[in-house]
Amino acid sequence: MKTENNIKNKIKFFAQYYGQNIFKVSKKATVFQLVDAYFLNRIDSDSLIELKSVRGILDDDAVQIAMMLNCHVQKMSSYNEVQLKAYCIGRGLDFANRSDSFVNVYQFLQSKGYALPYMDLSVQDLVDYGWIHLKDNN
């Protein structure tokens, strides 16, 4: 059974971004706000947060993930940006099934404001539920 689209679950999802400054969008306004207890107590059915898509991962973040996963990126100049991203992310997914690296990478991406699956909900589910909006990473 899929996680329900309700305020209680939405607050739990938003709480994962506790301590981060993030764009909160509602019918009333769009504000850049710290996710804290005040923020979480004012979530309603129209509230959503704006997050980055992992598909548009920034170069610096891809390199950081590569270093976290002990990928060898010293030959970075021989890769174009797309190849480097694909290599690092592919290696990360390969290592994810064998170690705690997955948790480290997940938390790193979350700390950088990337949209990630929540419980049994995909990123697309989160968009469809109206919990997040994916912003352009550029």
With pLDDT > 70 as the criterion, what percentage of the chain qualifies?
Answer: 75
- State how many domains the chain has: 2
Look up residue 26 and give its two tokens. Answer: 């509602």
- Considering the domain architecture, whether residues 89 and 72 belong to the same structural domain is answered as yes
- Considering the domain architecture, whether residues 101 and 123 belong to the same structural domain is answered as no
Q: Is residue 131 part of a domain?
A: yes
- Considering the domain architecture, whether residues 122 and 104 belong to the same structural domain is answered as no
Q: Is residue 122 part of a domain?
A: yes
Residue range 79-93, pLDDT digits in tens: 555 555 555 555 555
Q: What is the distance between the alpha carbons of residues 9 and 37, in angstroms, rounded to a whole number? A: 15
For the entire predicted model, the pTM comes to 0.75
pLDDT at 7 over 90: yes
Q: Is residue 47 part of a domain?
A: yes
Q: Is residue 2 part of a domain?
A: no
Look up residue 136 and give its two tokens. Answer: 């352009």
pLDDT at 36 over 60: yes
**Are 114 and 134 spatial neighbours (Cβ–Cβ below 8 Å)?**
no
- Give me the domain span that covers residue 90: 56-109
Q: Which residues contact 25 (CB under 8 A, 6 or more apart)?
A: 47, 48, 49, 50, 133
Look up residue 113 and give its two tokens. Answer: 């404001």
Q: What is the distance between the alpha carbons of residues 18 and 61, in angstroms, rounded to a whole number? A: 20
Q: Is residue 94 part of a domain?
A: yes
Q: Is residue 1 part of a domain?
A: no
Q: Is residue 88 part of a domain?
A: yes
